[in-house]
Amino acid sequence: LQWVLLMLSQHAECQEKCYKEIVSIIGDSPHEDHPTREEVEKMPYLAGMIKEALRVRPVSLGFLRETTKVMDVGDYTLKAGAKIVVFNSIFQVSEENFEN
């Protein structure tokens, strides 16, 4: 959540869009209750901002996988039992994978 707030603070136009979307669904008067699931589902821009923040600043740095059989990956042949580490922080911000 902190990354979402930081990103919104750095992009005023996105912050304003999120604010308008939230106000259009739940209003701008103070609430004691949290938004309902149905209300949150009507906020696609806010959901997109959260997903984008998680893409750019993932919760985990990466993950480890182990091959179960011999496999070719690009120009490399991996043996069965090979350990593969994928770093989200590199893959998820690559311009090759994401144009914007």
Alpha-carbon gap, residue 21 to 31, rounded angstroms: 16
Can you give the pTM of this predicted structure? Answer: 0.65
For residue 92, pLDDT beyond 80: no
Query: What pLDDT band is residue 100 in, cutting at 50, 70 and 90?
Result: low
More confident residue, 11 or 54: 11
What band does 15 get if pLDDT is binned at 50, 70 and 90? Answer: very high
- Judge contact between 45 and 25, C-beta under 8 A: no
Q: What tokens were used for 76?
A: 């490399």
Check residue 38 and give its pLDDT: 92
**Which regions of 30-95 does DSSP assign to beta strands (E)?**
62-66, 71-73, 76-78, 83-87
